[in-house]
A and B are shown apart, each in its own frame.
Chain A
Amino acid sequence: MIKFLNTLSILILPLIISIILIHALINKKPAYEDFTTGAKEGFFVAVKIIPYLVAIMVLTAALRSSGALEILQNFLKPVFDFFKIPIETSLIMFTRSFSGSATLGVLADIINNCGVDSYAAKLAAVITGSSETTFYVASVYFGAVGIKKFRHALLSGILADIIGLIAAIIICPIFF
Chain B
Amino acid sequence: MNYIFIFLILISFICAIFNHSLDVMINDMLKASQRAVEISFGLIGIMAFWLGMVNIAKSSGLMELFSKIIKKPLLIIFPDLKDNDEAFSNVALNISANALGLQNAATPFGIKAMESMQEKNPDKNIATNSMCTFLAINTAGFQIVPAVVIAILSASGMKNPSVIILPTLIVTTIAFLSALFFSKILERYFK
A interface residue numbers (CB < 8 A to B)? 5-6, 8-10, 12-13, 16-17, 19-21, 23-24, 27, 29, 31, 34-43, 45-47, 49-50, 53-68, 71, 99, 104-105, 107-109, 111-112, 116-117, 121-122, 125-134, 137-138, 140-142, 144-153, 155-157, 159-161, 163-164, 167-168, 171-172, 174-176
Contact = CB atoms under 8 A, between A and B. Distances in A.
Contact of B48 (A5, A39, A168): A39
9 contacts: A21-B56, A39-B52, A125-B149, A129-B172, A140-B110, A150-B132, A152-B136, A156-B136, A175-B167
Contacts of A171: 167, 170-171
B174 A164 contact: yes
The dominant DSSP class at the B interface is helix
A154 B172 CA distance: 17
Given A41-B51, A46-B40, A141-B114, 6 more contacts: A27-B61, A34-B55, A45-B51, A131-B139, A131-B172, A144-B115
Contacts, number: 362
Given A12-B169, A67-B15, A38 B174 contact: no
Interface stretch (B17-25, B68-76, B77-85): B17-25
A29 B119 CA distance: 37
A116 B40 CA distance: 16
B153 A163 contact: no
B21 A141 contact: no
Contacts of B114: 141-142, 144-145
